[in-house]
Structure 1
Amino acid sequence: MELLDIVERIGEAPTAALMGLATGVVFGVAAQRSRFCLRAATVEFARGQMNDKVAVWLLTFSTAVVWVQAAQLLGLMRAEDARMMAVPGSWSGAIIGGLLFGVGMVLAKGCSGRLLVLAATGNLRSVVSGLIFAVVAQMSLQGILSGWRDKLAALWITDGGRNMDLLAVFGLPKWAGLVLGIAIALLALELSRRNRIGVSRLFFASGVGFSVALGWVLTFGLSQVAFDPVQIESATFTGPSAHTLMFFLERDAVLEFDVGLVPGVFIGSFLASFLMKEFKLQGFDGPATMRQAMIGAALMGFGGMLAGGCAIGAGVTGGSIFAGTAWCALFFMWVGAMATDIFLNQPALRAATR
C-alpha cells in the first residue's frame, strides 16, 4: 500500500501519528539495547575516559548524520524544508538552554530521551523525573515560563529569518556532511574496538541514528502527498513530551507525529526490556537523590524548550541536518554536563572514598 493510499484511508493526522509511533518504536528498542545516553558519555569524558559510553554516543551521532545526509543525496528528504531550518534559530537560547539542559541531565541521571527509555523498563525515578520534565516543558512553551523563554531566546537570533545551515555557511559541497559522518563513524568504531564493544550493541547504537533518519524521511514523504502543510521533523522529546501530555489532558487535542513518537519509544523500550528479561521496578535511592533528580528534570524542561531541542532533538536530530543552533546547543550541553560532574559529582565521589 502506497503512502497516498494510507493518507486517503485514515487521514493525514493519524498517518503522521503512525509515523511517529514507528519512529519511536525503532528508537526505543535501539536505545534500550545499546544503552545510548549523552549524560553517560559526557560524564565519562569529563573523567578523562574514552570508553564504551563515548563510543556508543559517537556511533549513534555519526550514523544519524550518515543516514540523513545519504537520504538527502538520494532525494528522500530536504533539510531546508525541515521545521528546525525554516524558522529563525536562537543563539542565546542554544547557549543558555544548552547549559541548563546539560546541568539538568547530570542531576537527573539521564537526558529526557533516556528517562523515557528507562521509565519503560520499570525505573520509577525516571517516571517521576519524566513527568516533571514534561510539565515544565509545557509551562515553558505556553505557560507561566513562556515569557522568560521568549525573552532569553530573543536576545540573539540567526539572521535572514531562518536557522543557519553550517554546510552552506562554510561553502561545503552537499556530500561533505556524509563524509564527515563517515569520518566520525570510523572514530567511533575504533573506540568500540578498543573497548571490545559487541556487534549487537553497535548494531543497536546505529539503530538509534537510523530512527532519526526514519523520522525525517517519513514526514518528508507525508509532506509530498498531504493536502495541508506538514511539519518535517524527527525524534526529539522536549516539545513532544509537552504535546503528548496535553493530548491526554485536552478534549480537543489532535493527533500528530509528536503524539505517536513518545508512546512509540515507551512501547519499544518496554518490549525490548521485557523480552530480554531486564524489566525491573526501581525507585529513588533516597531523599537527596530524589531532590536532585526533580531539579534536574525541571532544568531540562526549561532548558530544552529554550535551546530548541533536547539531547536528541538538538544533539542528534538537529545535528544530522547541520542546523547551526542545534550544534551550538549540543556543545553547551556537553559543557554544562561536564562542569556539573567536575564540580559537583567528582568531589562527592572523592569524599565518599576517603
Structure 2
Amino acid sequence: MSELNTPAALVVWGGFVLAFLFGAIANKTNFCTMGAISDIVNMEHWGRMRMWLLTIAIAVLGANLLYYVGWIDLSKSVYQRPILPWLSLLLGGFLFGVGMTIAAGCTNKNLVRLGGGSLRSLVVLVFLSISAYMTLKGLFGHWRVSYLDPIAIDMARWNLSSQGVPQIVSKLTGLSEKSALLTCSLVVGLGLMGFALKDRRFRGNLPQIAGGASLGLLIVAAWYLTGHIGHGENPDTLETVYFATNTRTLESMSFVAPTAYSLELLMLWSDKTLRVTFGIATVAGVVLGSFAYAVSTRQFRWEGFASLEDLRTQLVGAVLMGFGGVTAIGCTIGQGLSGISTLALGSFIALAGIISGAVVTMKWQQR
C-alpha cells in the first residue's frame, strides 16, 4: 500500500485519471484539431476551431499562473530548451500535419476512436508507434539527429537561458521576467479567449465551451501533477528529480512519443529497467476514457478499413505522424496545447508547421 503513495505512483495514476477524463470529454465533444482545420478549409465553419482556441487560452493562463506563483518551473520543460531546432520543428510539424490529414485524425483522435471500437485506429497507432520509436532510437532517428536537429539556433548567443517568448520580450523591452511572463500570458490567453467567445453562435454552444475549458484545465492539472506533486528528492540518490516521466522533467499531455514507449513496454515487459510512466499512463487513459463514454452512451461500434486503398492511405499517414511528431517534439496536443501553454517559441513554429501541412494536404485532396 505504501508504494501507491510514492511520488512516481501518484504521477502515473494521476496521469491516468486526467487522461481518462480527457478521452471521455474529447469523445463527447468531438474534439479534433484536424477536424477543426477541415471545417474551416472545406466549410468555412469556425465552431470546433474556437473550441480548440479556448482550450489553448485556458491552458496558457493556467500553466503560466502556476509558473508565476512558483509552483512549477516551465523553463525546465523540453519545450523551453535554449537550443531551438527550428528546421526539425517546422518540417516535423508539416509532415505531422500531412499525416494526420490523410489518416483522417491525429494521434489523440485515433486513441479516442480506438476507445470507440475502431480497429482501423488500432492499426494506425501500431504503425505510428513503430515509426515514432524508429525516430527516437532507430533509423529515422539517425536521419533526424544527423540532418535536421543540427540546424538550430542557440538562444544563449543572445544571453537567453530558454526559448520562452516572455524571456525574449523581457530582453527586448527591459521588463522584468515576471512582468513579461504575466503580460505575455494575459495577451495570448485573453486574446485567444476573446476571439473564441466573440462569436454569438459559439457562446450559445455550452457543451463546446465547457468541453474546451475542461480540456484546457486538464492540461494545466497535468503540469501541476508532474511539475509539483511529482517533483522531489529521490530517496535513493538524494537528488531532486521529476518522477515517472520519460523526459525526466515536468510534462503535460502529448501522445506521439508515449505511444512508442507504450509499445516498447509491451514488447519488453520482462525488462525490469522499464516502468510505466506518466506518458504511457495517459495513452491508456485516453483510450479507456473514450471507451467508457462510448459504452455508457451506446455509441461503441466496431469499425474496420473501407478498402485496400483506405488501408494504404492510413498507414502512410501513420508513418508520417510518427516521424513528424517526434521530430517536432509533439503533436497537435503535445505542441498545440501543452507546448503552446509554455509560450515556447519552438511550439509556435511547430504548430505553424502542423497547420500548414494540414491545409496544404486538404487543398491537394480537394483538387
Letter in 1 for 2:215: V
Q: Which residue of 1 aligns with 2:246?
A: none
More displaced stretch, 150-159 vs 118-127: 150-159
Distance 1:222 1:52 in 2: 35
Consecutive unaligned residues of structure 2, counting only runs of 5 or more, are 171-178, 243-248
Q: Does 1:24 align with 2:19?
A: yes
Distance 1:143 1:202 in 2: 42
Q: Which residue of 2 aligns with 1:309?
A: 330
Partner of 1:77: helix, strand, or coil? coil
Q: Which residue of 2 aligns with 1:187?
A: 195
Letter in 2 for 1:188: A
Q: Which residue of 1 aligns with 2:231?
A: 224
Partner of 1:266: helix, strand, or coil? helix
How far did residue 294 of structure 1 move?
0.9
Distance 2:51 2:29 in 1: 7
Distance 2:49 2:132 in 1: 28
More displaced stretch, 289-298 vs 18-27: 18-27
Letter in 2 for 1:47: N
Letter in 2 for 1:224: H
**From 190, 197, 207, the counterpart of 1:200:** 207
Question: Does the 8 Å CA contact 2:79/2:346 hold for their aligned counterparts?
Answer: no
Question: Does the 8 Å CA contact 2:101/2:358 hold for their aligned counterparts?
Answer: yes
Distance 1:262 1:327 in 2: 24
How far did residue 81 of structure 1 move?
2.4
- Kindly tell me the number of residue pairs found equivalent between the two proteins: 340
With the length of structure 2 as denominator, give the TM-score of the two structures: 0.87
Distance 2:2 2:276 in 1: 13
Distance 2:217 2:154 in 1: 29
More displaced stretch, 104-113 vs 38-47: 38-47
User: Does the C-alpha gap of structure 1 residues 197 and 267 become closer, same or farther in structure 2, counting only changes over 3 Å?
Assistant: farther
Q: Which residue of 1 aligns with 2:151?
A: 155
Partner of 1:174: helix, strand, or coil? helix
Letter in 2 for 1:206: A
Identity among equivalent positions (%) equals: 28
Distance 1:287 1:8 in 2: 48
Question: Does the 8 Å CA contact 2:118/2:303 hold for their aligned counterparts?
Answer: yes
User: Does the C-alpha gap of structure 1 residues 163 and 238 become closer, same or farther in structure 2, counting only changes over 3 Å?
Assistant: farther
How far did residue 196 of structure 1 move?
6.8
How far did residue 72 of structure 1 move?
2.3
**From 238, 243, 262, the counterpart of 1:244:** 262
Distance 2:223 2:56 in 1: 15
User: Does the C-alpha gap of structure 1 residues 119 and 12 become closer, same or farther in structure 2, counting only changes over 3 Å?
Assistant: same
User: Does the C-alpha gap of structure 1 residues 142 and 287 become closer, same or farther in structure 2, counting only changes over 3 Å?
Assistant: same
Distance 2:109 2:186 in 1: 27
Q: Which residue of 2 aligns with 1:135?
A: 130
Q: Which residue of 1 aligns with 2:37?
A: 42
Q: Does 1:178 align with 2:178?
A: no
Distance 2:143 2:17 in 1: 35
Distance 1:284 1:8 in 2: 43
How far did residue 87 of structure 1 move?
6.0
How far did residue 173 of structure 1 move?
1.8
Question: Does the 8 Å CA contact 2:86/2:349 hold for their aligned counterparts?
Answer: yes
User: Does the C-alpha gap of structure 1 residues 237 and 41 become closer, same or farther in structure 2, counting only changes over 3 Å?
Assistant: same
Distance 1:164 1:341 in 2: 31
Question: Does the 8 Å CA contact 1:13/1:255 hold for their aligned counterparts?
Answer: no
Which deviations, in whole Å up to 9, do the C-alpha atoms of 1:277-315 show, x marking residues without a partner?
Answer: 221112222222221111011000000110111111011
1:258-277 aligned within 5 A: 258-277=279-298
More displaced stretch, 232-241 vs 249-258: 249-258
Distance 1:93 1:197 in 2: 40
Distance 2:187 2:203 in 1: 25
More displaced stretch, 119-128 vs 194-203: 194-203
Distance 1:267 1:68 in 2: 26
How far did residue 147 of structure 1 move?
0.2
Letter in 1 for 2:208: R
Partner of 2:180: helix, strand, or coil? coil
User: Does the C-alpha gap of structure 1 residues 74 and 273 become closer, same or farther in structure 2, counting only changes over 3 Å?
Assistant: farther
Question: Does the 8 Å CA contact 2:256/2:330 hold for their aligned counterparts?
Answer: yes
Q: Which residue of 1 aligns with 2:106?
A: 111
Question: Does the 8 Å CA contact 1:163/1:325 hold for their aligned counterparts?
Answer: no
How far did residue 7 of structure 1 move?
7.8
User: Does the C-alpha gap of structure 1 residues 89 and 8 become closer, same or farther in structure 2, counting only changes over 3 Å?
Assistant: farther
Q: Does 1:286 align with 2:280?
A: no
Letter in 1 for 2:193: A
Distance 1:183 1:148 in 2: 39
How far did residue 117 of structure 1 move?
0.9
How far did residue 195 of structure 1 move?
4.8
Partner of 1:145: helix, strand, or coil? helix
